[in-house]
A and B are shown apart, each in its own frame.
Chain A
Amino acid sequence: MMELDAVIAANRFGLGARPGELALIAANPRGWLLNQVGNTAACQITADGLMSGTQAFEALQAYLQARNAQQRGGDAVRFQADERGRLANLVGQTIGRDIEARIQHAITTPASFGERWVQFWSNHFTVAARSAQTTPFPGTFEREAIRPHVWGRFETLLIAAETHVGMLIYLDQAQSIGPNSQAAQSGAGQRRRAGLNENLAREILELHTLGVNGGYQQADVTEFARALTGWTIAGPRVRRLAGNAQIGEVVFVPALHEPGPRRIMGRSFAASGKNQALDILRFLAGQPVVARQIATKLARHFVADDPPQSLIARLETNFLATQGDLSALAKTLIKSPEAWMPEAGKFKTPNDFLISTMRAGGVASTSTQALRGTFEQLGQAPWRAPSPKGWPDVATEWAAPDAILKRIDWSNLAADALGESTHPVRFAEEALGPALRDTTRTAISRAQTARQGLVLALMSPEFQRR
């Protein structure tokens, strides 16, 4: 009989088994996971028409220019109608394509632990589409700043994330200007009503590194924000200050940078221009409290809402010992006995429920047009996290009564699509292997219709949990 470990590898660590995949994993569940660690190529998404960050910025500029030009014209009704079309076009060519490619990758990849790992980090460094300005960037951010670095060092990932065009726009860094910078002192800076914006500095400290109780003060936030000034994007005006850089390129503009040394958490950082903020990021990445933060978050994501202290401690120790080697961290997680307890401690997010359903159904390709609405109705539209904190990671946030009912109703629809070629009991066996309880198997086999049987399989505790 197949070991439970194969199911744990596929469901708890991965995005669920595709038909036949459990048998493959069963030969060596830990080996199957370890093989994915460090495989950066398997975590990349390439598809036609996906934009770089620079291209996405250009698309945003084109949209803004067209909008502003028409706004000056003054026909309000006509403007509303055209604006809808413009916005749809912007969404379609940027985040729309990325959503499609990401779902496609998630439902077909044989390296589904790698994809979970990517999505964990993508959520840790949330860049969400919350406005026209931010909409073009989450996909390109994940492809350019997250995916290439998830198996490297935390510090490298941190710097890649904080200096990407998507993050600089999402957390308002692009318009932050040192109050005593050259530009602010000149007339140009004053015309732009420019000043310091602390948003990125605060979220780096609070969410990306030290944590809210990580020992920093408001003064540290302000100091860090000053150090970050100058890091911006080459827009139509700024590019002239940055040696005529290409539109959309991330640049450091000395003229916008707050001059002088900075002092953060008792440590001094010399005035080194571009490097000052990078030095601070490296300093933060090495703080012991970061190891604790990341260890806790990872254990909560993969193992339990209230994870065992022994697991957190082991991950923390490893992070410290390897200076944040993320491959070593993943291997430590895989080798931890706490991660292989038979009891399924985690409740799937809507995203993982939908993806694992399609994987279990052997869906090879799908139009995400209709599916996108489903993600939204189940409460987790791709890259639309409500705040920089990202999506919540505990069951109480996802298992509200109405949310459960919506999952059941969607399962009812999905069962129709899956049911034409799927026997409900076999479906459950392929997806859950030995994790399928006898009571569930019996309930499925006694269902009144194949559709009802599939709904019971999809909504069973063992499919909903991992």
Chain B
Amino acid sequence: MTNRRTFLTAGLSGLTLAMAGARASFAQAPANSGKFVFIILRGAMDGLAAVAPYADPDYRALRGNLALAEPGSPDGCLPLTAGFGLHPNLQTLHGLWQERRMSFVHAAASPYRERSHFDAQDMLEAGTAQVTSGSTGWLNRALALLPASPDAEGVAIGRTIPLVLRGTGKATSWAPPLAPESDMDTLMRLGDLYAGDPMLATALAMAIETNQIADGAEAGMSGRNRVGAYASLASAAARILSAPGGPAAAVLSFEGWDTHANQGATRGQLATRLEALDQAVAALRTGLGPLWSQTTVVIATEFGRTVRVNGTGGTDHGTGGAAFLLGGAVQGGYMMGDWPGLNRLHEDRDLIPANDVRTVFAAGLAHAWRLDQAVVMAEVFNA
């Protein structure tokens, strides 16, 4: 049941209250443990676009126009472990790889095997094999492994606390004091829903047009384009984490990865998002300053996307995807887990989920807070 407090923040003027609350609760105690940052890419990032298995014999045939060129060629991917390359827009991540501060896993998934975004996100965030109404988040449960101190706390950058941070442990949220606008993708989806309703369809189309004129033709609905916000949210997270007595963990949600149409390869909507993600990691590193060396970041998404390109130049909901473990506290530079290959696909469409993405979460928590990874697996993930 929605309570009084959450609906208060849903009023159009309740946001500054949430901000003041978040600041006040970090007031004490020095930070001595490491910092853990979890970045959720909501909407299902195409793992095969972020990390291209360019040497896999089936890669080019299956990926068609979305395939990336080999490292060294024009617009080629950036070399990782032999046979794998990063999308050319992930420059910061590649720099971290070269410093051995980044590892990745491919063909990873939560125990979820269906294709609903939000059910999958719930599963990813609960970190359990089942999700119920009483479910708590794995990051919240992990906070209990920290020695009791005021900074054994998590902060969500956003207007609410996502499931991954919900539970009995201390969690708070911080949202930028901006008017919360719905993004372009939502407006487009509503446009589809209004196909049989001329009144609503016309009103929405006109509103979008007016907004574009108001924003200037170049920027085009910039306020409704979430991509621009990734780096500023990451900077905000860095500020909160590095405040005296700041929380031990932060969660960031970047939305808009559901590229069903016109996904693009080295350029296009997905490339733009990957670049924004890369800039967000750079902003986090810059913002954390000396704390970066004690920081561990995990980047994951709810599932991967179909291996083949669909009829509209995009990809549909899949299963196995990619995840990243990076940060100043990480000893990286290797590929985690197994590569199942592309010669056989899950349900003849998806990358086989060969690796449990929760292993990456456990590895990240162990890095960040100097814990035993097996203990984390058992106590946080019941696995």
A positions within 8 Å CB-CB of B:
347, 358, 361-367, 369-374, 377, 395, 399-405, 408-414, 416-424, 439-440, 443, 445-450, 452-453, 455-456, 459-461, 464-465
Contacts and interface: CB of A to CB of B under 8 A. Distances in A.
A398 to B, nearest CB: 10
Given A421-B133, A455-B182, A401 B203 contact: yes
Contacts of A446: 116-117
B2 A409 contact: no
Contacts of A452: 185-186, 189, 255
Interface string B188-232: 011011111101100110110011000000000000000000000
Pick the most buried of A372, A399, A459: most chain B CB atoms within 10 A of its CB.
A459
Nearest to B119: A423
A461 B7 contact: no
Nearest to A403: B203
Contact of B7 (A366, A403, A412, A465): A366
7 contacts: A366-B7, A367-B11, A408-B190, A409-B180, A420-B161, A423-B118, A450-B118
A408 B185 CA distance: 12
A411 B180 CA distance: 10
Nearest to A459: B190
A416 B210 contact: no
Contact of A399 (B43, B185, B192, B203): B203
Given A443-B193, A449-B43, A399 B255 contact: no
B199 A447 contact: no
A414 B10 CA distance: 5
Interface in B40-60: 42-44
Contacts of B199: 347, 395, 399
B96 interface: no
B12 A404 contact: no
B287 interface: no
Interface of B: 1-2, 4, 6-14, 42-44, 116-118, 121-122, 133, 159-161, 166, 179-182, 185-187, 189-190, 192-197, 199-200, 203-204, 206-207, 210-211, 253, 255-258
A416 B160 contact: yes
Given A370-B13, A374-B11, 8 more contacts: A362-B1, A363-B2, A412-B186, A419-B160, A420-B6, A420-B160, A420-B166, A448-B256
A363 B7 contact: yes
B118 A456 contact: no
Given A373-B13, A409-B180, A447 B203 contact: no
Contacts of A443: 189, 192-193
A235 to B, nearest CB: 37
A408 B10 contact: no
Contact of B181 (A372, A401, A409, A456): A409
Given A404-B200, A418-B2, A449-B121, A367 B179 contact: no
B181 A412 contact: yes
A460 B192 CA distance: 10
A455 to B, nearest CB: 6
Contacts of B180: 409, 412-413
Contacts of B192: 443
B174 to A, nearest CB: 14
B10 A413 contact: yes
Contacts of B179: 409
Contacts of B196: 461
A446 B14 CA distance: 30
B214 to A, nearest CB: 11
Given A370-B14, A440-B193, A404 B186 contact: no
Contacts of A363: 1-2, 7
A362 B133 CA distance: 15
B254 to A, nearest CB: 11
A169 B161 CA distance: 48
B2 A461 contact: no
B193 A362 contact: no
A52 to B, nearest CB: 28
Pick the most buried of B4, B161, B193, B200: most chain A CB atoms within 10 A of its CB.
B193
A417 B42 contact: no
Nearest to B317: A446
Contacts of A419: 160
A417 B173 CA distance: 13
A408 B7 CA distance: 17
Contact of A369 (B11, B186, B189, B206): B11
Nearest to A446: B117
A411 B187 CA distance: 12
A464 B187 contact: no
Given A370-B10, A413-B159, A456-B186, A421 B2 contact: yes
B189 A447 contact: yes
Contact of A416 (B10, B186, B203, B207): B10
B38 to A, nearest CB: 16
Pick the most buried of A395, A423, A447: most chain B CB atoms within 10 A of its CB.
A447
A3 to B, nearest CB: 22
A359 to B, nearest CB: 11
B7 A367 contact: yes
Contacts of A460: 193
A450 B253 CA distance: 12
Pick the most buried of B7, B179, B187, B258: most chain A CB atoms within 10 A of its CB.
B7
Contacts of A409: 179-182
Contacts of A420: 2, 6, 160-161, 166
A58 B185 CA distance: 54
